[in-house]
Amino acid sequence: MSTITLESVSKVYDDETTVFKDINLAIEPNEFFVLVGPSGCGKSTLLRLIAGLEAASSGKITIFDKDVTNESPQNRKLSMVFQNYALFPHMTVKENILFGLADKKISEAEQAKRLNKAVELTNLEKYLDKRPKKLSGGQRQRVALARAIASKQPITLMDEPLSNLDAKLRESMRTQIKQLQRELNMSIVYVTHDQTEAMTMGDRIALLNEGLIQQIGSPLELYNSPKNVFVASFIGTPKINLFHLTAQHGFFTDESGQVQLPIIPALHDRTEVIVAIRPEHLKIVEIKEEAQISGKVLNVEQLGNETLFTLTVGKVKVRFKVLGQLQLEIDDEVFLAVDQKHLHYFNSSDETRLLP
């Protein structure tokens, strides 16, 4: 039994703006499921439909096999953590965590038990009598998480909960949220535009663009086997390198001749392809004849544990990285070798993947 199921769900506003059409997905019990994509792709609206904060234009939403398409939020067995924390400024941390439990006829003894568990898991014991304005951003976010934990709902929806935090705190909170999810066996549906959050937190990811699900799978499935150019470009840091190449004399090559990739048998009938290669799969070589890509150094980024380079290759910029510290100067000529097993081939017309 799936925790949440969406069948042919669409959302169209009164002005005929279509947010998304025919969304189908199933979220499994105790799964950390991430909706990721660029701004405006429909991911937050999709979360609001699951929550019942907006109505679907068509389709069916079920939670634990119950049709909740037209049910109010309070009948959907879920809690929600918002981007802006949604805390009551006049209430203490304790009051914010326990908010709503009395209305659900939860006994005082049970409320105390839930409060103790929630603050223990979120390390908020010292802050119970403080009001939100006295807390840092990370502490406020933990209060919102504690409130979701205290509600003991089997599903928690999170709408970009870490976007207001600095980079170091985001990294820490990612670990805390994932750990809480495992400890409490919660199903979490998590919305983000940050592919790093999606990759590090999600059991599965649904990548959306322009109202369409581009691919659903584990983080490594999207990374290793992207279904189209958009997925390949969105997932991974630094971004994947893309080459628009034509077949000439047994090679896929660019206009400048600085890219020369042997045509593999499965693609011998192709005259044009898009080829993608991730920066970590390019290897620097000393001998020009051993290289498939050549270019001049445009930029060097020394990160200590690794070095990122940008090359000018014909009309495109190519990123590659090496572990450790490598010294190259601007305008140095560089030769790169490519391992065929790490190449991704896409149709030049519709940008879909060509090979399994």
Q: DSSP letters along 86-99, please?
A: ---TTS-HHHHHHT
Can you give the residue ranges of every domain in the chain? Answer: 4-234, 241-347
pLDDT of residue 212: 94
Relative orientation angle of helices 167-184 and 137-151, to the nearest 10 degrees = 10
Q: Checking DSSP bridges between strand 78-81 and strand 155-159, what pairing results, if any?
A: parallel
**pLDDT exceeds 90 at position 356:** no
pLDDT of residue 296: 97
The answer to whether the peptide bond before residue 38 is cis (omega within 30 degrees of 0) is no
Q: pLDDT for 125-134, tens place per residue?
A: 999 999 999 9
Answer whether 80's CB lies under 8 Å from 148's CB.
yes
Average pLDDT for 241-263: 96
**pLDDT exceeds 90 at position 283:** yes
Q: What tokens were used for 79?
A: 């809690």
Q: How far is CA 322 from the centre of its chain?
A: 25
pLDDT of residue 16: 81
State which CATH number among 3.40.190.80, 3.40.50.300, 3.40.630.30, 3.40.250.10 fits the domain covering 4-234.
Answer: 3.40.50.300
pLDDT of residue 84: 81
Q: pLDDT for 209-239, tens place per residue?
A: 999 999 999 999 999 999 999 999 999 999 9
Q: pLDDT for 4-62, tens place per residue?
A: 999 999 999 887 889 998 999 999 999 999 999 999 899 999 999 999 999 999 999 99
Average pLDDT for 145-172: 89
CATH architecture of 241-347: Beta Barrel (2.40)
Query: What is the percentage of the chain residues whose pLDDT exceeds 90?
Result: 80
pLDDT band at 172 (very low <50, low <70, confident <90, very high): confident
Average pLDDT for 201-214: 96
In Å, the largest CA–CA distance within the chain is 79
- For tokens 């937190």, name the residue: 201
pLDDT of residue 163: 83
pLDDT of residue 17: 87
Mean pLDDT, all residues of the chain: 93
pLDDT of residue 203: 97
Closest C-alpha to 78, from 119, 106, 49, 105: 49
Answer whether 245's CB lies under 8 Å from 259's CB.
yes
pLDDT of residue 36: 97
